[in-house]
Amino acid sequence: MYMNQLNEVLEYLHNNNVEYVLYYSPEGFETVDKVVKQLNVDRDMILKTMVISSTKGLYTFLIRGGKRLDLDTVKLEIKDEKARLADKNELLNILGMPPGAISPIHPAIIDKTTIYLDLDSTIYDKVIVGGGTTYHVIKVSLNELIRILKPHYSTL
């Protein structure tokens, strides 16, 4: 299930000439802890893709794996007091991906959300992001990720 989302992510990377490493695990990569355990990487090498629903639309915040998203700071950043984490139905119906599978490289994220990168998340040259399924993650250059996503920067 959701293999089409993975294919769309890989196609986007290919079309933008981005080198990457794709990881697969039958146990799944739904959480930062699972990625850390299975790939033996530092949790801050992982970029969590947090989707926010607001009265102004959807936002995506990329934060390092060891950090918690502060919703109060997000509300100030996007100037919307009603902002909240997108729920499972929003993720599935609008973006086509379930929680734990969201990839910032998926065309739905790029086209339908405003993307922010937390400046605290720029400590590694290579980062690991969701692959569009709960069974895949992708290692990619942070500079290349910034090039293709063109995120806003924030300190969350």
Q: Note the pLDDT tens digit of each residue in 89-106.
A: 999 999 989 898 999 999
Q: Is the pLDDT of residue 1 over 60?
A: no
Q: Is the pLDDT of residue 2 over 70?
A: no
Q: 28 exposed, middle or buried (CB, 10 Å; 0-12, 13-18, 19+)?
A: middle
Q: Is the pLDDT of residue 3 over 80?
A: no
Residues 66-93: what's their mean pLDDT?
Answer: 95
Residues 59-63: what's their mean pLDDT?
Answer: 97
Residue-level pLDDT at 64: 95
**Alpha-carbon distance 3 to 7, whole Å?**
6
Q: 27 exposed, middle or buried (CB, 10 Å; 0-12, 13-18, 19+)?
A: exposed
Which numeric CATH code is attached to 3-154? 3.90.960.10
* Residue-averaged pLDDT of the chain: 95
Domain assignments of the chain as residue spans, ordered by start: 3-154
Q: Is the pLDDT of residue 46 over 90?
A: yes
The three-class DSSP label of residue 33 is helix
Q: Is the pLDDT of residue 30 over 70?
A: yes
Q: 153 exposed, middle or buried (CB, 10 Å; 0-12, 13-18, 19+)?
A: exposed
